[in-house]
Chains A and B, each alone.
Chain A
Amino acid sequence: MIQKKICMIGSFAVGKTSLVRRFVYSIYSDIYQTTLGVKVDKKVLRVDSTDVELMLWDIYGEDDFQKMRWSYVRGSSGYLLVADGTRRATLEKALALEQKAREEVGKIPFILLINKSDLVQEWDLDAVLESHFNAKKWTVLRSSAKTGENVEEAFTQLAKKMLSQP
């Protein structure tokens, strides 16, 4: 079976762990529990009649207390760049992380997830910012680990992108 490594990258408290838990175990909790360290989960996904085992590296969020170790991303076929729609700063952090990822692991497929779409009325972003990403030809999805919106879709789309890579 094809195995692919996917990393969850983003600032702290954007919902990376919740997205993985929703995707792998179909569970969600409203209580924020910070991730210390790295956790690897696996899930088999059927993409265009091909079974792919995804190894999901849920990496702790970067902030002043924990710096990202880029060695964790080594060997990844793609990553989900996660930002929290209610915190504009996390999107700026996502931009910086994408740039750094490109330097460290080269150009590999990724999808930007603007998470917490269930709280869209509290979102701190505007259409201009989103069109900025579209202009960069990034794949941007609004997601919610709480409602499950675009969670499966994001992993599937990323898997397709990874499989289409030479």
Chain B
Amino acid sequence: MNTLLGNFLRQSGFVLLERHEDGSFGLLSKAPEWFVQFWPAALCDDKFSIQENSPFLENFLVDAEIFWNSGKAGLCESGTWIETNAAGEQIALEARAMHLDGKQVLAIFSPDTQYQEKARVLQTARNSQLQHERLLREIQKKEILLHCIVHDLSQPLSAIRGSFDCLALGNDPESAAKFIELGKHASEQQESMIREILSAFAADLQADLNAERNINSAPDLLSTAKEAASMISPAFSAKGVRLSVIDNNSGQTNWRVRGEETRLRRIFTNLLENALRYTPANSSVTIGVEDEGVSLKAYVDDEGPGLPADLRPAEIFALFGKEKKNGGKAGLGLYFCRVTVERWGGSIGCASLAEIGSRFWFRLPKAPLNGIDSAVKKAEQSKDDRKRMKQENRRRLRILLADDQEDIRVLTTHQLQRGGHEVVVVGDGQAAYEAVQTGNFDIIFLDEEMPVLTGVETVRAIRDFQKGKGVSNIIVAFTGNNTPEDRVRLMGAGFDAVVGKPFRLESLDAFLNDPTDIKSLGSPPDERSRKSGASLEALLQRVGGDEKLLRQMMRTFLRDTPERLEIISKALKRKNGTDLAYYAHALKGSLGIFGAGEAVRHSQSLQDLGRVGDFEESGRVFGLLQEEIAKLQQNLRGYAKEAKAESSAVGKEVQSKAKKAKKRKR
């Protein structure tokens, strides 16, 4: 066969095969090596079966047959297929059916170079397509997220607006307090959502990662769990759900994990919020930690309905992966937990419990120990051992703490727990009263000014409830109104003791060592801190030498104060004396922690002026207060830096001083 096309095909690398009438094939051209390895019979037989070794060709020959029989001009193409040779190499092949010189011809060739080029172009095109799809999905997700955020953020706003509407309708102080609390709760909810969003999508991820790598700041899993439980306990009390932390790992002292404390606490908070959402009233939620060797595991068990059967654990932790029937938020909380835990090299999961409820757990690698850490660990261990021995020698108290201010709650709870006491924390008087009705407490601490029920109203309600039951708790008032007249007034209302804010944690500790000695409580203002805050050493003394706690308090103060000042400023503009007095009082409590005597005095004046409705003088005092707070903020920022450098040295010194002072007292 010497047609022009035939020659061209041969020169182009095609193997030409003639199809015989019996369906077999014979070579019309030389068979190259790649052909022989698949059809060796071609070399020795004039007629051989081409389809025998190739299911693909067998299939193509059906089409080829139709083409040949049709007598049409042109070609019938097979498309590319891959054959694998004995050495495991994959060879791309293509076939054409055609008529040549009156014969039915099958042309096969290996389009190696073209194939590689085609595959490369297709790979690039598809990779681009996939990348494009991914980007589109990201954009879509962000749009949905934006929609969810707008939707979820608008819910608390509706509650806030509703509270304002209700406040505008009437002037009943009790209802007003309730609506203010409702509005506050909604705004806190909104703030928490914003924090979640920022955490999940923060641009400064790398900076966070660097912080996480700092092993010296590795958080303690157990104490973070306790802190989170303590912070969220008001919400549990409100729903009537018992919240407990299992701490029966007496031999274990190192609970440090890889991660960062604030976000670890948020993981616990998210899991607890999730548990609370699904747990019915009068049931329990339990937090526990376990040592698994190279990693530590934390879990939150609830007594809710368990996980939906049609939902996989991995889906629950997906973005927007909430259980749709029960609503919830934008589905960010658990997503945040997963992303954060995985970023720290851990894992997260959930499962239904055998009888009732579900368990949400996460596992984090233990913080690595280098030489310095080992030394720190040893020191801490012996410190903890001594502490434990001391605690075992004294009575463990069950304490109820009611305070509407987060910083006071955190500070006091921390100190009480450090003393080995069990603390139930609530955020208002009503919750405290309800807690007393259902639980037994050795001592109750009540803030004087709280929403729903004030401290005085609460103590009266508790005394009335306990009358005739043979029970009478020691009830202590926390108050910023600490004049001799105030003390007489509060003792007359039913309190056993009055603690003026700011108070020293060591005096609180001394009181708890012997609760019958109520004289040990007393807190003269720190003379050294009249101007704009105590020294770093004095501040550390206030928190029992706990630099971590101090840093946390500083962060909370620096974070919350601008907002509080803004609220006070608005109350002044609107001439709202109640709000002015309330928020000035709240601010006073925080300022007291940092020994800012002058600022505390201005807050007290502002509170008094708010009560009597003197807005002209209030404006002037507010200006002075702002100046004092600005100085304090500046000092605290400086301390934060200083604390980093000096913290361990000063902390140890202060702790040692505190211990010596205690010994002397004994």
Contacts and interface: CB of A to CB of B under 8 A. Distances in A.
Asked if A and B bind, the verdict is yes
B318 A122 contact: yes
Given A32-B127, A34-B122, A74-B59, 4 more contacts: A38-B81, A40-B55, A121-B321, A122-B318
19 contacts: A12-B126, A12-B129, A13-B130, A32-B127, A34-B126, A38-B81, A38-B82, A39-B84, A39-B90, A65-B126, A69-B79, A71-B63, A89-B133, A120-B312, A120-B315, A120-B318, A123-B315, A123-B318, A127-B311
Interface string B114-141: 0100110011011101100100010000
What secondary structure prevails in chain A residues at the interface with B? loop
Nearest to B126: A34
A38 B310 contact: no
B133 A34 contact: no
B324 to A, nearest CB: 8
Nearest to A3: B55
A34 B317 CA distance: 31
Interface string B42-60: 0000000000000110011
Interface of A: 5, 12-13, 32-34, 36-40, 55, 57, 63, 65-66, 69, 71-72, 74-75, 87, 89, 120-124, 127
Nearest to B116: A36
Please classify how large the interface on chain B is, using the bins under 10, 10 to 19, 20 to 34, 35 or more: 35 or more
Nearest to A90: B133
Nearest to A38: B81
A32 B129 contact: no
Contacts of A57: 55
A36 B133 contact: no
Contact of A63 (B81, B82, B126): B126
Contacts of B84: 39
B62 A74 contact: yes
B338 interface: yes
Given A120-B318, A121-B338, A36 B118 contact: yes
B281 interface: no
A89 B122 CA distance: 19
Contacts of A89: 133
B310 A127 contact: yes
A38 B80 contact: yes
A38 B79 contact: yes
Contacts of B63: 71
A32 B128 CA distance: 12
Contacts of B80: 36-38
Contacts of A32: 126-127, 130
A87 B133 contact: yes
B317 A39 contact: no
B339 to A, nearest CB: 10
A36 B59 contact: no
Contacts of B122: 34, 36, 65-66
A55, A72, A75, A121 — most chain B CB neighbours (10 Å): A121
Contacts of B130: 13, 32
B211 interface: no
B314 interface: yes
Given A34-B119, A34-B123, A121-B317, A39 B81 contact: yes
A121 B314 contact: yes
Top 8 A-B pairs, shortest CB-CB distance: A37-B80, A121-B318, A39-B82, A120-B314, A38-B81, A36-B119, A34-B123, A121-B314
B92 interface: yes
A13 B126 contact: yes
Interface in B62-82: 62-63, 79-82
Contact of A33 (B115, B123, B133, B314): B123
Interface string B319-363: 101000000000000000010000000000000000000000000
B528 to A, nearest CB: 55
Residue among A36, A38, A127 facing the most chain B CB atoms (10 A cut-off): A36
